[in-house]
Structure 1
Amino acid sequence: MSTSNYLYLKKLLLITAASGILMLVAFLTVPQYLSPALPFVLIFFMSVSLISYYLLQKKAASGTSGFVTGFMSHTVLRMALYLAIILSYAFLNREDAVRFIIGFFILYLIFTIFEVYQFLILTRKSKPAGE
Protein backbone atom coordinates (compact mmCIF):
# COMPACT_ATOMS: atom_id res chain seq x y z
CA MET A 1 0.00 0.00 0.00
CA SER A 2 1.41 3.37 -1.01
CA THR A 3 1.88 6.18 1.48
CA SER A 4 -0.97 8.26 0.05
CA ASN A 5 -3.34 5.28 0.26
CA TYR A 6 -2.30 4.62 3.84
CA LEU A 7 -2.78 8.27 4.82
CA TYR A 8 -6.20 8.38 3.17
CA LEU A 9 -7.29 5.19 4.92
CA LYS A 10 -6.05 6.53 8.25
CA LYS A 11 -7.95 9.83 7.79
CA LEU A 12 -11.05 7.98 6.62
CA LEU A 13 -11.02 5.74 9.67
CA LEU A 14 -10.56 8.78 11.93
CA ILE A 15 -13.49 10.67 10.39
CA THR A 16 -15.62 7.53 10.57
CA ALA A 17 -14.68 6.94 14.21
CA ALA A 18 -15.36 10.57 15.12
CA SER A 19 -18.74 10.43 13.38
CA GLY A 20 -19.49 7.13 15.10
CA ILE A 21 -18.65 8.55 18.52
CA LEU A 22 -20.87 11.57 17.92
CA MET A 23 -23.62 9.24 16.74
CA LEU A 24 -23.24 7.07 19.86
CA VAL A 25 -23.48 10.13 22.10
CA ALA A 26 -26.60 11.23 20.22
CA PHE A 27 -28.12 7.74 20.53
CA LEU A 28 -27.51 7.82 24.28
CA THR A 29 -28.89 11.32 24.80
CA VAL A 30 -31.67 11.82 22.21
CA PRO A 31 -32.46 8.44 20.61
CA GLN A 32 -35.93 9.56 19.53
CA TYR A 33 -34.39 11.88 16.93
CA LEU A 34 -32.18 9.26 15.27
CA SER A 35 -32.94 6.46 12.87
CA PRO A 36 -31.80 3.00 13.98
CA ALA A 37 -30.36 2.51 10.48
CA LEU A 38 -27.73 5.27 10.84
CA PRO A 39 -24.85 3.03 12.00
CA PHE A 40 -25.28 1.07 8.77
CA VAL A 41 -25.32 4.31 6.79
CA LEU A 42 -22.04 5.28 8.45
CA ILE A 43 -20.42 2.01 7.34
CA PHE A 44 -21.91 2.48 3.88
CA PHE A 45 -20.41 5.97 3.51
CA MET A 46 -17.03 4.75 4.71
CA SER A 47 -17.08 1.93 2.14
CA VAL A 48 -18.21 4.17 -0.71
CA SER A 49 -15.53 6.73 0.18
CA LEU A 50 -12.82 4.10 0.16
CA ILE A 51 -13.90 2.65 -3.18
CA SER A 52 -14.29 6.13 -4.67
CA TYR A 53 -10.82 7.17 -3.62
CA TYR A 54 -9.15 4.18 -5.22
CA LEU A 55 -11.13 4.53 -8.46
CA LEU A 56 -10.53 8.27 -8.74
CA GLN A 57 -6.89 7.89 -7.80
CA LYS A 58 -6.41 5.85 -10.96
CA LYS A 59 -8.21 8.55 -12.97
CA ALA A 60 -6.02 11.28 -11.48
CA ALA A 61 -2.93 9.50 -12.72
CA SER A 62 -4.27 9.66 -16.29
CA GLY A 63 -4.31 13.45 -16.34
CA THR A 64 -6.56 16.34 -15.45
CA SER A 65 -9.15 15.84 -18.20
CA GLY A 66 -9.49 12.14 -17.40
CA PHE A 67 -9.91 12.92 -13.73
CA VAL A 68 -12.54 15.61 -14.30
CA THR A 69 -14.57 13.34 -16.59
CA GLY A 70 -14.23 10.42 -14.17
CA PHE A 71 -15.08 12.56 -11.18
CA MET A 72 -18.21 13.99 -12.80
CA SER A 73 -19.53 10.62 -13.99
CA HIS A 74 -18.65 9.06 -10.65
CA THR A 75 -20.53 11.82 -8.84
CA VAL A 76 -23.65 11.36 -10.96
CA LEU A 77 -23.66 7.60 -10.35
CA ARG A 78 -23.20 8.07 -6.62
CA MET A 79 -26.01 10.61 -6.43
CA ALA A 80 -28.31 8.18 -8.24
CA LEU A 81 -27.31 5.41 -5.81
CA TYR A 82 -27.89 7.68 -2.81
CA LEU A 83 -31.28 8.74 -4.12
CA ALA A 84 -32.29 5.12 -4.71
CA ILE A 85 -31.29 4.20 -1.15
CA ILE A 86 -33.14 7.14 0.37
CA LEU A 87 -36.30 6.51 -1.63
CA SER A 88 -36.25 2.77 -0.98
CA TYR A 89 -35.84 3.24 2.75
CA ALA A 90 -38.48 5.97 2.88
CA PHE A 91 -41.04 3.82 1.08
CA LEU A 92 -40.30 0.74 3.18
CA ASN A 93 -40.13 2.56 6.54
CA ARG A 94 -42.43 5.55 6.32
CA GLU A 95 -42.47 6.18 10.08
CA ASP A 96 -38.67 6.49 10.18
CA ALA A 97 -38.20 8.25 6.83
CA VAL A 98 -37.63 11.80 8.06
CA ARG A 99 -35.09 10.81 10.72
CA PHE A 100 -33.29 8.59 8.20
CA ILE A 101 -33.15 11.28 5.52
CA ILE A 102 -31.85 13.93 7.92
CA GLY A 103 -29.21 11.56 9.31
CA PHE A 104 -28.23 10.44 5.82
CA PHE A 105 -27.85 14.06 4.73
CA ILE A 106 -25.66 14.95 7.72
CA LEU A 107 -23.38 11.99 7.05
CA TYR A 108 -23.39 12.85 3.35
CA LEU A 109 -22.17 16.37 4.15
CA ILE A 110 -19.44 15.13 6.48
CA PHE A 111 -18.09 12.58 4.04
CA THR A 112 -18.48 14.81 0.98
CA ILE A 113 -16.47 17.63 2.57
CA PHE A 114 -13.81 15.12 3.58
CA GLU A 115 -13.67 13.54 0.11
CA VAL A 116 -13.51 16.82 -1.79
CA TYR A 117 -10.65 17.98 0.41
CA GLN A 118 -8.81 14.69 -0.13
CA PHE A 119 -9.41 14.79 -3.91
CA LEU A 120 -8.00 18.32 -4.02
CA ILE A 121 -4.87 17.06 -2.28
CA LEU A 122 -4.72 14.10 -4.66
CA THR A 123 -5.02 16.20 -7.82
CA ARG A 124 -2.47 18.75 -6.63
CA LYS A 125 0.06 16.00 -5.96
CA SER A 126 -0.52 14.30 -9.31
CA LYS A 127 -0.10 17.46 -11.43
CA PRO A 128 3.11 17.46 -13.43
CA ALA A 129 5.45 20.42 -12.95
CA GLY A 130 4.63 23.33 -15.23
CA GLU A 131 0.85 22.72 -15.40
Structure 2
Amino acid sequence: MKSFIIKLTVITLGIALIGWLVFSFLFPQYYLPVLPFLLIFFYATTLLIHAYQLVLAKKDIGKFARSNMLITFFKLILYSVVTVIYIAFDKENAIVFVVCLMLLYLVFTFVEVNEITKISRSNKE
Protein backbone atom coordinates (compact mmCIF):
# COMPACT_ATOMS: atom_id res chain seq x y z
CA MET A 1 0.00 0.00 0.00
CA LYS A 2 2.84 2.37 0.82
CA SER A 3 4.37 1.99 -2.64
CA PHE A 4 0.97 2.64 -4.22
CA ILE A 5 0.54 5.85 -2.20
CA ILE A 6 3.97 7.03 -3.30
CA LYS A 7 3.30 6.11 -6.94
CA LEU A 8 -0.12 7.76 -6.88
CA THR A 9 1.27 10.90 -5.24
CA VAL A 10 4.07 11.21 -7.80
CA ILE A 11 1.63 10.73 -10.67
CA THR A 12 -0.77 13.27 -9.18
CA LEU A 13 1.99 15.83 -8.73
CA GLY A 14 3.14 15.15 -12.29
CA ILE A 15 -0.38 15.74 -13.59
CA ALA A 16 -0.58 18.94 -11.54
CA LEU A 17 2.69 20.14 -13.06
CA ILE A 18 1.63 19.25 -16.60
CA GLY A 19 -1.74 20.90 -16.01
CA TRP A 20 -0.07 24.04 -14.71
CA LEU A 21 2.19 24.18 -17.78
CA VAL A 22 -0.66 23.54 -20.22
CA PHE A 23 -3.06 26.02 -18.64
CA SER A 24 -0.40 28.66 -18.00
CA PHE A 25 1.29 28.70 -21.38
CA LEU A 26 -0.79 26.90 -24.02
CA PHE A 27 -4.46 27.28 -23.10
CA PRO A 28 -4.87 29.82 -20.29
CA GLN A 29 -8.36 30.73 -21.55
CA TYR A 30 -9.58 27.19 -20.76
CA TYR A 31 -8.40 27.00 -17.16
CA LEU A 32 -11.15 26.19 -14.67
CA PRO A 33 -10.61 26.93 -10.97
CA VAL A 34 -12.26 23.61 -10.11
CA LEU A 35 -9.54 21.52 -11.80
CA PRO A 36 -7.19 21.27 -8.75
CA PHE A 37 -10.15 20.04 -6.68
CA LEU A 38 -10.98 17.52 -9.39
CA LEU A 39 -7.41 16.23 -9.22
CA ILE A 40 -7.64 15.88 -5.43
CA PHE A 41 -11.00 14.14 -5.81
CA PHE A 42 -9.53 11.57 -8.20
CA TYR A 43 -6.51 11.06 -5.94
CA ALA A 44 -8.67 10.45 -2.87
CA THR A 45 -11.17 8.24 -4.68
CA THR A 46 -8.47 6.08 -6.21
CA LEU A 47 -6.67 5.75 -2.90
CA LEU A 48 -9.81 4.76 -0.98
CA ILE A 49 -10.99 2.29 -3.60
CA HIS A 50 -7.54 0.73 -3.82
CA ALA A 51 -7.38 0.32 -0.03
CA TYR A 52 -10.78 -1.36 -0.05
CA GLN A 53 -9.77 -3.66 -2.89
CA LEU A 54 -6.62 -4.64 -1.01
CA VAL A 55 -8.71 -5.70 1.96
CA LEU A 56 -10.95 -7.77 -0.32
CA ALA A 57 -8.01 -9.36 -2.12
CA LYS A 58 -6.38 -10.43 1.14
CA LYS A 59 -9.57 -11.96 2.54
CA ASP A 60 -11.02 -13.82 -0.43
CA ILE A 61 -9.77 -13.61 -4.00
CA GLY A 62 -13.12 -14.93 -5.28
CA LYS A 63 -15.04 -12.16 -3.57
CA PHE A 64 -12.49 -9.67 -4.86
CA ALA A 65 -13.06 -10.76 -8.45
CA ARG A 66 -16.84 -10.51 -8.09
CA SER A 67 -16.83 -7.17 -6.36
CA ASN A 68 -14.31 -5.56 -8.70
CA MET A 69 -16.91 -5.03 -11.43
CA LEU A 70 -19.38 -3.64 -8.91
CA ILE A 71 -16.78 -1.22 -7.56
CA THR A 72 -15.98 -0.06 -11.08
CA PHE A 73 -19.68 0.49 -11.77
CA PHE A 74 -20.18 2.59 -8.62
CA LYS A 75 -17.04 4.56 -9.40
CA LEU A 76 -18.42 5.41 -12.85
CA ILE A 77 -21.73 6.42 -11.29
CA LEU A 78 -19.89 8.68 -8.82
CA TYR A 79 -17.88 10.34 -11.58
CA SER A 80 -21.03 10.76 -13.67
CA VAL A 81 -22.85 12.42 -10.77
CA VAL A 82 -19.94 14.84 -10.27
CA THR A 83 -20.02 15.64 -13.99
CA VAL A 84 -23.77 16.23 -14.08
CA ILE A 85 -23.63 18.46 -11.00
CA TYR A 86 -20.80 20.54 -12.45
CA ILE A 87 -22.50 20.88 -15.83
CA ALA A 88 -25.74 21.93 -14.11
CA PHE A 89 -23.91 24.86 -12.51
CA ASP A 90 -21.54 25.79 -15.35
CA LYS A 91 -22.85 24.86 -18.79
CA GLU A 92 -20.48 27.31 -20.47
CA ASN A 93 -17.34 25.32 -19.53
CA ALA A 94 -18.84 21.85 -19.78
CA ILE A 95 -16.64 20.64 -22.65
CA VAL A 96 -13.39 21.67 -20.95
CA PHE A 97 -14.52 20.04 -17.71
CA VAL A 98 -15.52 16.78 -19.39
CA VAL A 99 -12.26 16.58 -21.36
CA CYS A 100 -10.20 17.13 -18.19
CA LEU A 101 -12.34 14.64 -16.26
CA MET A 102 -11.93 11.99 -18.95
CA LEU A 103 -8.16 12.47 -19.08
CA LEU A 104 -7.94 12.15 -15.31
CA TYR A 105 -10.22 9.12 -15.38
CA LEU A 106 -8.04 7.38 -17.96
CA VAL A 107 -4.78 8.08 -16.12
CA PHE A 108 -6.04 7.11 -12.66
CA THR A 109 -7.88 4.03 -13.96
CA PHE A 110 -4.74 2.86 -15.76
CA VAL A 111 -2.71 3.22 -12.55
CA GLU A 112 -5.35 1.46 -10.47
CA VAL A 113 -5.85 -1.44 -12.89
CA ASN A 114 -2.11 -1.88 -13.26
CA GLU A 115 -1.67 -2.13 -9.49
CA ILE A 116 -4.69 -4.39 -8.95
CA THR A 117 -3.42 -6.71 -11.70
CA LYS A 118 -0.08 -7.04 -9.90
CA ILE A 119 -1.84 -7.83 -6.63
CA SER A 120 -4.17 -10.32 -8.30
CA ARG A 121 -1.25 -12.14 -9.92
CA SER A 122 0.73 -12.30 -6.68
CA ASN A 123 -2.26 -13.74 -4.82
CA LYS A 124 -2.67 -16.51 -7.42
CA GLU A 125 0.97 -17.58 -7.10
Separation in 1, partners of 2:30, 2:17: 16
Deviations 1:47-83 (A, max 9, x none): 0011011100011113332111121111111111110
Identify which of 2, 27, 49 aligns with 2:23. Answer: 27
What is the CA-CA distance between 1:36 and the residue it aligns to? 2.3
Separation in 2, partners of 1:100, 1:118: 27
Q: Normalized against structure 1, the TM-score is what?
A: 0.90
Identify which of 39, 47, 50 aligns with 1:50. Answer: 47
Identify which of 6, 23, 31 aligns with 1:10. Answer: 6
What is the CA-CA distance between 1:123 and the residue it aligns to? 1.0
Quote the RMSD (CA, aligned, Å): 1.1
Identify which of 51, 58, 63 aligns with 2:60. Answer: 63
Letter paired with 1:122: I
Stretch moving more, 111-120 or 27-36:
27-36
Letter paired with 1:7: S
What is the CA-CA distance between 1:124 and the residue it aligns to? 1.4
Separation in 1, partners of 2:118, 2:14: 21
3-state DSSP of counterpart to 2:32: coil
Q: Which residue of the partner structure matches residue 40 of structure 1? A: 37
Gaps of 5+ in 2: none
What is the CA-CA distance between 1:43 and the residue it aligns to? 0.4
Separation in 2, partners of 1:108, 1:77: 14
Name the one with the larger helix percent.
2
Report percent identity of matched pairs. 29
Q: Which residue of the partner structure matches residue 124 of structure 1? A: 121
3-state DSSP of counterpart to 1:35: coil
Residue pairs, 1:94-113, within 5 angstroms: 94-113=91-110
Q: Which residue of the partner structure matches residue 73 of structure 1? A: 70
For the 8 Å contact 1:35–1:103, the answer to whether it is kept is no
3-state DSSP of counterpart to 1:71: helix
Separation in 1, partners of 2:73, 2:6: 26
Gaps of 5+ in 1: none
What is the CA-CA distance between 1:27 and the residue it aligns to? 1.7
Runs of at least 4 residues of structure 1 off by over 4 A? none
